[in-house]
Structure 1
């Protein structure tokens, strides 16, 4: 995980420019809209785990009336978020040890949680449960099957891992979540595998 964070720390400005342009075509929109529609609070409080530079996901949520708390292990990313959206709450934190002492109407871990090794991913589900409000929503991406993969970004190798779908379902259930949506390799969303679950 340290190497992953180092990549994002060293390339935060480039990432912000590259990722920010994605807002023009926001492939994540159907899932974000489904999340927002399922939240009962007037100004729902969303925890964005691995928030990156805040674009396009946090921006989309903020523009639709959500209050966002973003957590990322890369200080440079968090600083970009704080500069863009100073009215929101941005925290430098390792998701594996997250302990914010509050609960959120929704938690998003989009393209972040899958940088963890398998055991660390398993350990995240109690952390999600610890931070989710009753009937809150959890939205995250994974791989389509159990395994590891090495991608490349900014000329460096980037680690990804996934559990099997059956294990994600088991972990969600064991931690008080019910699966609402599970889409594998969504062609309308850049081939993402997406999970949306609701807390009891």
Structure 2
């Protein structure tokens, strides 16, 4: 486990900086190890259906762009990708030069536009819990009535440490009740949710739609 010392602000900053650095340094290794088998396909198809089968898509924490953004591009959905790891974003730009890919901290996102679909797959759960709460008004700001939102989280309230390239990798999650309350506050309804989906490598997945 990472030892974060100091007040809560330092803990939050330390966790975020560590994750960002980890994704920056071994971007090529991550690209090699990331499965392209697309076990996520049933969920991605359900997400596209929730969007109405078309429209613009915001990929929050797009990374290298493979395989998630790549799948949407094959569906001819215009993708705007946001990521704070420049090395990973550079790889995405080299593969998908026609897409809009922005080097930006997701917590500072203010694009002054809305999208038919927003996805944060294996990305915003690297944020400390207090920062995750701040993302829900951002989801609202970048959506409109009818927009689909899909994200992954942990199965329950807490912090979990994974490992990548021999280094600890931080994950955090709110309680399901907190996510539900935050979604409701921002006008989203949960239309599908599976905890630790055995058909999707144990991911906990939320599929939502903005209803107001």
Structure 1 stretches of 4+ moved >3 Å: none
Matching of residue 175 in structure 1 with residue 209 in structure 2: no
> How far apart, CA to CA, are the structure 1 residues paired with 2:204 and 2:38?
16
Q: Write out per-residue CA displacement over residues 37-75 of structure 1, whole angstroms, 9 at most, x where no aligned residue.
A: 122364x11100010100000000000111101000100
Tell me the SS of whatever aligns to 2:110: coil
Gaps of 5+ in 2: 1-15
Gaps of 5+ in 1: none
Matching of residue 33 in structure 1 with residue 48 in structure 2: no
Rg larger in 1 or in 2?
A: 2
Q: Give the structure 1 partner of residue 164 of structure 2.
A: 153
The alignment's C-alpha RMSD in Å is: 0.9
Picking from 58, 67, 83, the partner of 1:72 is 83
8 Å CA contact 1:106–1:133 kept in 2: the answer is: no
Tell me the SS of whatever aligns to 2:112: coil
> How far apart, CA to CA, are the structure 2 residues paired with 1:120 and 1:154?
25
TM-score when scaled to structure 1? 0.96
Structure with greater strand share of residues: 1
> How far apart, CA to CA, are the structure 2 residues paired with 1:67 and 1:136?
15
TM-score when scaled to structure 2? 0.90
Count of aligned pairs between the two proteins: 196
